[in-house]
Structure 1
Amino acid sequence: MKKSKLVLAMASVMLMSCADAQNGKEEAQVRKALAERLNGVKIDSIRKAPIPGMYEVAIGNELRYTDPTGRYLLEGHILDLQTRTDLTQARIDDLNKIKFDELPFELALKSVKGNGKRVMAIFEDPNCGYCKRFRQTTLASTDNVTVYTFLYNILSPDSFTKSQNIWCSSDRNKAWDDWMLNGKAAPAAPNGCTSPNDKVLALGQKMSINGTPAIFFADGSRIAGAVDQRALEAKFATIK
């Protein structure tokens, strides 16, 4: 009996290895066909899609779908009508996850409310109206949270200057709140004071952050854009 089980287990492993090899060969063929037609577009990954006979194509933080010949490329979301699930969005969320603990927190402002047990990081531009509204409404009503704010200057030429002035203030958090909540600008940065603006900009670009606010959570997931308090609390509730 034990020998039979061992033979079956070995046969199962061999079948899985063969299947993996076949899948890898098919995906390589699809990649080759697409590469010839997409004229140098970098394909990050190819794998079987939820729809049989289709392949998922990851290009940056976007997803496309193709047939086995690589002739047709489809743009859109796959919805599972049985489970009412957006399978494409779930996959995008998974691809966009980061290693939260590896963020360079020394480049961010840090504020703590209440016990600070719930942690989030926000990339914000000082000229971002949605960021200001998010702070004035959602964050103002949220307790027991630690917030790391990365000053991510992408919206206006003077965003860099405003962020540098805030970073070089004697109380950075107060200067940031004064500006974002009350529109009170920080005084000009003293000569010789430097800010991490360039490092944060490079970091955000590496993380494919194209707009602000971009909110990240301890589980590595992100929300692109401002949300209300109910949505934020619902998100926190999913993080263990």
Structure 2
Amino acid sequence: MQVRIWERLKPLLLAVVLGSLTTAAMAETAQETAVKKLIEPRLGDGVKVDAVAKTPYLGMFEVRVGKDIFYTDANAKYMFVGRILDAKSSRDYTKERMDEISKVKFSDLPLDLAMKSVKGNGKRVIAVFEDPNCGYCKKFRKTLQEVDNVTVYTFMYNILAPDSAVKSKNVWCSANRDKAWDDWMLNGKLPATAAASCATTPNDKVLALGQALGVSGTPTIIFADGSRIPGFIDAKALEDKFASVVSVAPVASSK
């Protein structure tokens, strides 16, 4: 008898549980919408909030504007700009969210705008934004000399000096782009002046791409899983990062 009653009640109880979860989710969504409406006018003219999400930290709400994150309370009375850390483990929750937000879909990168070099089997794939006048980029080029079995797509991202675009154009117009780039970055040998017939370079498109991806400095390294590392890393750090990335086949070829 008890079994029969339970069988009859199960659908009803399931409906109650699902209804409660749905109600809670709707309430949270409404609260997030309310916070967005409150906080957006307080950020100044033209600032648009991309998303608001309830956090498990002290009743705070995460507010995302572009790739920036800050926190506020339910009444949007206070704003907290900084990192949320676990006091016991030092886990950086803000960094984890920033890394998640900044991920790139590697397959969407316009690799025809990049130079491609392959070492060994080329199974490990990265894209790098570099400026020809960037000292840390030159240092990272030396790191790449120590690493095998890698495919590198280099986007020449001209943001540091007026002549960066000129140097990049001369490299792009060289008969062997990879050699011309390495000659300059590793050995300080300037590429030859671009031929008059070389009218088209990807400079402007790469600049727009980097800006759209929020690349604010060079080098910026993007891995096959979409994660990125801004700035120089040595060979050991690069190998450690490769070990944490799911292996993928090399991406379609570009020039």
If the length of structure 1 is used for normalisation, what is the TM-score? 0.96
Q: Which residue number in structure 2 is paired with residue 176 of structure 1? A: 181
Give runs of aligned pairs for residues 43-192 of structure 1, distance below 5 A. 43-136=49-142, 138-192=143-197
Matched, 1:19 2:24: yes
Q: CA offsets per residue over residues 163-195 of structure 1, 9 Å max, x none?
A: 000000000000000000001011111113111
List aligned pairs for 1:182-221, cutoff 5 A.
182-193=187-198, 194-221=200-227
In structure 2, stretches of 5+ residues that fail to align are 1-5, 247-255
Question: Quick check: which has more Rg, 1 or 2?
Answer: 2
Partners of 1:78 and 1:86 within 8 A in 2: yes
Deviation of the 1:21 alpha carbon: 1.1
Tell me the secondary structure at the aligned position of residue 221 of structure 2: strand
Give the distance between the partners of 1:57 and 1:221, measured in 2 at CA.
21
Matched, 1:31 2:33: no
Alignment-mate amino acid for residue 50 of structure 1: P
Matched, 1:228 2:234: yes
Q: Which runs of 5+ in 1 are unaligned?
A: none
Tell me, what secondary structure is at the counterpart of 2:211?
A: helix
**1:216 and 1:3 mapped to 2: Cα distance?**
55
- Residue 203 of structure 1: how far off its partner (Å): 0.5
> What is the TM-score of this pair, normalised by structure 2?
0.91
Matched residues, number: 239
Question: Could you list the runs of 4 or more consecutive aligned residues of structure 1 that deviate by over 6 angstroms after TM superposition?
Answer: none
Correspondence 1:4 to 2:45:
no
For residues 210 and 241 of structure 2, what CA distance do their matches in structure 1 show?
Answer: 22
Distance 1:114 1:66 in 2: 50
Q: Distance in 1 between matches of 2:166 and 2:56?
A: 47
Measure the CA separation in 1 of the matches of 2:206 and 2:171. 15
